[in-house]
Structure 1
């Protein structure tokens, strides 16, 4: 692998700058530099970070080194430095002002000083795997790439380009209809990864490899839309209840239960009851529990050590089912009246069973 240090003037960098929001294509350097290759995230700099780049350039201070990779056709792609590159290009193009002045408002000598500023760029020429490995290495010191961002590099193609329109941009479809139900963010590829994980049943790489050369990602966005529509029509959540719905694995639940018919009022009353129940320590598990009936989703409050000791002493170490004597460490706490039947986690509803009896009771 060959690595060469070059000095690139801003004048040359911004030539042919183009940022197409529809396709996600961002180029500069006379159209020869791809600023946003598939593995790069969307522009995420805040105003303060963007302004710091422009101030550094205007003061003539050194800007952090950037990294480009040479492609087979002789063009380049940004390996590291996308945010700084776009900040510079946007400023010169007049997309934003700094200190209340746009670039075109500056004096000629001020414009000249910026355009003649030299960026330090390491240019890497090697195989795809070498460049990707280099990319992973130089990003260790920065904001580490997510697994999905790395997958995007491997499975680039028309399908991914279309999928990113729906799932990877600020204001995209997934953000508009699903932000209340998803963890993470669109620009860090979390929404895209979640949607693929749902539709593929956790086989993200297999799904992306299979569809890499599809002309569009319609199937993925239609599936995602169907999941969110089902969630909202089934539960009709309020703004407050959406807080405990965020991050639930809705895709698998949709796949299994979408054809069931539910009484909305019964669901609503059950959700309200579980929210108020202090024994339910994992409120986010309420909706999976309602659909599956699996109490493990709720992390029901366990009996305290003190409650266990009191029950053990009350029973004199005798298991009430098999009538055998056991040491405390050989027994487990159990709700006399099961929690699902309204039995609370209080002293008077606690009994100690031997492990075998407790397992048999739990399996009934």
Structure 2
């Protein structure tokens, strides 16, 4: 299997996977006294005008639209937040992570922060207000003095995880994930990949988004990249499940290291990816591109669509479990690309036979255990090895 240099070392023991599950009471007490796995927080409350001014400071707060959700609040949703401040409806606190002293990442609250910033920059024209419909069509600058004063006296609360909470980078990101999952107050349920996107920003996360835009990949999963209106409504795209599919490929190449269930293993790979260099990223990108090109050449319009033994037809939709097996299996044989393409008809026939023997439906998503994952990858890999050896 081709791997990036950092992948060769990524499963060495770390503070996240060598913890003791059985400890004496004395050891537990010492662990607590030393502050291990304990979160340190600060609670802040700041008037809205002051908060908006703070956002203009260089490196003060990372509120990148890429950082959290693909779906951005529209002007009506932003306006409703401003109306909530006006009529004094409690607004949930934002959650920040102090990456350096007085420099923050937004863990939860990007949409609220963006709405406040747009409002005070006069980039938001209020719309859809219900209790104060008289203000629709106005920016902050155009509001009556009393209304501006009423909003200006409101405050936004924040919960800050401070830098002293962790001793190393891996622990810091693990802490961020636990905190985000338990304190998420955005009101809209985030998918697992949206949470990962919030927490593990970096060059590998950027690569996942880039590869999710691969035309072959998008077509196989029915993601309409060329039609922005349809794209926004696409379920895979909205919840970043397309990005998660790319992550599955990279992570499941290391299925022998599988632990903590599918979601936990994907999280662990993201944590490990924080040590990737740009050189590693370039290698991984090449592996994905070469693999999906090979898969497309072999399966064409049947890419990631299992063969249905009952109907004697290839299914209409792609299946995640089958995708895992095809992509990981083919990636193990990139040194034999020409031979595999030459024998594509054999691969198609053997794929049909393989699926006909699949009584447990492990290729169509019935199995999510470590054994199921490893078995489907192993069976597909063995099929390819036999064809190569002929």
- In the superposition, the TM-score normalised over structure 1's length comes to 0.54
Among residues 285, 293, 311, which one is paired with 1:229 in the alignment?
A: 293
Alignment of 1:181-192 (within 5 A): 181-182=220-221, 185=236, 188-192=239-243
- Tell me if structure 2 keeps the 8 A contact 1:41–1:187: no
- Tell me if structure 2 keeps the 8 A contact 1:68–1:76: yes
Structure having the higher helix fraction is 2
Q: 2:357 maps to what in 1? A: 295
- 1:65, 1:46 → 2: CA distance? 17
Q: 2:207 maps to what in 1? A: 163
The 1:262/1:201 distance shift into structure 2, 3 A limit, reads same
Alignment coverage as a number of residue pairs: 262
The 1:103/1:220 distance shift into structure 2, 3 A limit, reads farther
- 1:58, 1:202 → 2: CA distance? 52
Structure number with greater Rg is 1
**How far off its partner does 1:63 sit?**
1.4
Q: Residue 11 in 1 paired to residue 56 in 2?
A: no
Q: Residue 173 in 1 paired to residue 213 in 2?
A: yes
Q: 1:194 maps to what in 2? A: 245
Among residues 324, 331, 335, which one is paired with 1:255 in the alignment?
A: 331
Q: Residue 209 in 1 paired to residue 267 in 2?
A: no
The 1:148/1:76 distance shift into structure 2, 3 A limit, reads closer
Alignment of 1:317-336 (within 5 A): none
- Tell me if structure 2 keeps the 8 A contact 1:5–1:122: yes
Of stretches 243-252 and 126-135 in structure 1, the one that deviates more from structure 2 is 126-135
**How far off its partner does 1:295 sit?**
3.3
**How far off its partner does 1:214 sit?**
0.7
The 1:152/1:291 distance shift into structure 2, 3 A limit, reads farther
SS in 2 for 1:78: strand
- Tell me if structure 1 keeps the 8 A contact 2:98–2:105: yes
**How far off its partner does 1:119 sit?**
0.9
- Tell me if structure 2 keeps the 8 A contact 1:289–1:297: no
- 1:207, 1:78 → 2: CA distance? 18
Q: 2:375 maps to what in 1? A: none
Of stretches 83-92 and 186-195 in structure 1, the one that deviates more from structure 2 is 186-195
Deviations 1:99-118 (A, max 9, x none): 26363663363555445431
The 1:236/1:151 distance shift into structure 2, 3 A limit, reads closer
Among residues 153, 157, 175, which one is paired with 1:120 in the alignment?
A: 157
- Tell me if structure 1 keeps the 8 A contact 2:84–2:91: yes
- 1:92, 1:297 → 2: CA distance? 61
- In the superposition, the TM-score normalised over structure 2's length comes to 0.51
The 1:152/1:56 distance shift into structure 2, 3 A limit, reads closer
Deviations 1:291-343 (A, max 9, x none): 846431796xxxxxxxxxxxxxxxxxxxxxxxxxxxxxxxxxxxxxxxxxxxx
- Tell me if structure 2 keeps the 8 A contact 1:12–1:29: no
Among residues 170, 179, 201, which one is paired with 1:134 in the alignment?
A: 179
SS in 2 for 1:244: coil
The 1:141/1:94 distance shift into structure 2, 3 A limit, reads closer
- 2:152, 2:360 → 1: CA distance? 60
The gaps in structure 2 that reach 5 residues or longer are 1-38, 128-135, 223-234, 255-265, 306-313, 362-390
Deviations 1:56-102 (A, max 9, x none): 23434321222333344232232332222223324444555432636
The 1:199/1:2 distance shift into structure 2, 3 A limit, reads closer
